[in-house]
Amino acid sequence: MLTEKTIALIKATLPVMQEHGEAIAAKTYEILFKHYPQTHPLFSKAPANQPKILARSVILYSEHLDNLDMINNVLDKIAQKHVSADVHPGHYPMFGHSFIQAMREVLGKSVDEEVIMAWKEAYFYFAELLIQREQALANPKQTQQAAEIR
């Protein structure tokens, strides 16, 4: 679970994300493809406005951090897209590194380290939610059996 402090920090920076989210998302893909070129082919069918789509999903997630059930259907849709594009759990740290680096580059000194760390924590929490869904979609039988054993 995210701490109250992290949730408060993320919510306080929502206006910044609303203003710069798309620039951060575009920079994220630039850094991702430069540092992790193996991820580039996954996006062969992605629309030209992918950065806008990513920014919108990040903002939606941040707005609902304290009530994520509200966006279950959005998370399911992203997970489905990821599974069909062959996104794997190992890609998430690459994407996370690129996203955080993009935040630093786009926002510069206007954002302090405490806020960056809150976004880092929130990103990996978001990643974990997606990974769980993606694994359930990719291996429905195994996931069902694991749930029964528990």
**Interface positions with ligand HEM (CB under 6 A):** 39, 42-43, 45-47, 53-54, 57-58, 77-78, 81-82, 85, 87, 91-92, 95, 123, 126-127, 130
Nearer to ligand HEM, 95 or 119 (CB): 95
Cα dihedral across residues 119, 30, 43, 54: positive or negative: positive
At 91, which helix (H) or strand (E)? helix 91-107
How many C-beta atoms surround the C-beta of residue 77 within 10 A? 13
Q: Is 61 a catalytic residue?
A: no
> Out of 92, 114, 125, 128, which one is annotated catalytic?
92
Q: Which residues contact 71 (CB under 8 A, 6 or more apart)?
A: 60, 61, 64
The C-alpha atoms of residue 10 and residue 4 are separated, in whole angstroms, by 10
Q: Is 134 a catalytic residue?
A: yes
Nearer to ligand HEM, 112 or 128 (CB): 128
Nearer to ligand HEM, 92 or 119 (CB): 92
The CA radius of gyration of the chain, in Å to the nearest whole number, is 16
Cα dihedral across residues 108, 111, 116, 119: positive or negative: negative
Q: How far is the CB of 150 from ligand HEM (least distance, A)?
A: 25
Q: How far is the CB of 127 from ligand HEM (least distance, A)?
A: 5
CB 94 within 8 Å of CB 35:
yes
Nearer to ligand HEM, 47 or 148 (CB): 47
Q: How far is the CB of 11 from ligand HEM (least distance, A)?
A: 17
Q: How far is the CB of 131 from ligand HEM (least distance, A)?
A: 9
Residues forming the active site:
92, 134
